[in-house]
Amino acid sequence: MTHCPLCHALYAQEDVKLVAQKEGVKLYHSACGSCGHGLLAYLLETHGGISSLGLVTDASGADALRLAQAKNIGSDECIQAHRLLTEHSRDLCRQWLDISGKLA
C-alpha cells in the first residue's frame, strides 16, 4: 500500500488513513495525489502472516468511514433485492437504455 495501483505514484503518508480496525483486521483508505483515485485496503493479520485485499474506488475517506460504520445488510434484504432485480430486470434495462439514448 505504498503506491497507487493505477498510476503507480507513491502515496504521501498523510494520504493513508486507518478507517476501522477490530480483532486483527484493519481497513485503510488511501487517496492518490496524482490521479485522484482512492484505494480501500483490508489487512488481515494472523499467526501465519498478513493477507490483504485492495479495491480501487472513487469513495472518499469520509465515504469509507461512513460505510465502515454502517449497519450490516441481512440475508432477508439480500433475498429481497434479488427478487426485485429478477422480477423487474427487463423494466430496469429498458430505463437504462432509454436514458442512455440507445433505445429509440
DSSP per residue, 40-92: EEEEEEETTEEEEEEEEES--HHHHHHHHHSPPPPHHHHHHHHHHHHHHHHHH
Give the single-character DSSP code of 35.
T
User: Which cell numbers hold the place of 24?
Assistant: 486483527
Q: What is the pLDDT of residue 76?
A: 95
pLDDT at 47: 86
Asked whether residue 16 falls in the same domain as residue 66, the answer is yes
The total of structural domains in the chain comes to: 2
Q: Are residues 26 and 60 in the same domain?
A: yes
Query: Using one digit for the tens of pLDDT, what is the confidence trace for 24-79?
Result: 899 999 999 898 889 999 999 988 898 999 999 988 889 988 988 889 899 999 99
My answer on whether 4 and 55 are in the same domain is yes
Q: Do 64 and 80 belong to one domain?
A: no
Full residue range of the structural domain in which residue 80 is found: 72-104
- Do 66 and 89 share a domain, yes or no? no
The mean per-residue pLDDT over the stretch 78-95 comes to 88
**90 and 59 within one domain:** no
pLDDT at 91: 85
12 has pLDDT over 70: yes
Co-location of 81 and 99 in the same domain: yes
